[in-house]
Amino acid sequence: MKQQDQQDLKRNSEKHVRFMALLEPCLNKLSRYAHALTMDVEDGRDLLADALLLCYENFEGLRAPEAFTSYAFTTTRRLYYRRSRRKKWWGVLSKEADQIVDHRSPSPEVKVDTEFLDRALTKLPEKQREAVILFEISGLSLKEIVEIQGGSLSGVKSRIARGREQLAILLGERESPQDAMPASAATSASSLSSFKRTQVAYLIREKA
């Protein structure tokens, strides 16, 4: 083997090791994000596989290793929305990715509920839906979501709070403002802060 070939092989091997070391801690979160965006097992696998390929191909341009999670989620996000735009005009894209193990295996008892949750998520405004998915399903921090979505920390908090509230209404966990009796601001805040103890949060966790 030529010396140049040996050097290239060594560089590729080192790149692979570095990439996998950074990917492993966030892979499950990224997988849940891809599946939640597409709401389909096969499409989620395809999105994840193609996003990981893009991440790997452009990996050497990543200057700060601590930014890898944001980099991976942003790449997946951009690829998803680019495909969504293409689907709108050109139809369903062909599936190209290798098989990736799917960790989502909901029990039969919650299958109908999770499908209901998927439908409810589609009714949220786009950024609200994405913020809820990133926070509740993928488990990212608020700071990481700001890096992915842009904007301010308060903006992300507001999107998550509004998204939670709307999901609770859509899933029948809470009355809509039009139907509910007037409540104090303190009561409303208390209800919102207890969101994670509701069936809505349970379904979100279960579907992942």
**What is the residue-wise DSSP string for 135-159?**
IIIS---HHHHHHHH-S-HHHHHHH
Sorting pLDDT into bands at 50, 70 and 90, what band is 84? confident
Q: Is the pTM of this model over 0.75?
A: no
**pLDDT at residue number 174:** 57
Better-predicted residue by pLDDT, 59 or 85? 59
> HEC states along 38-53?
HCCHHHHHHHHHHHHH
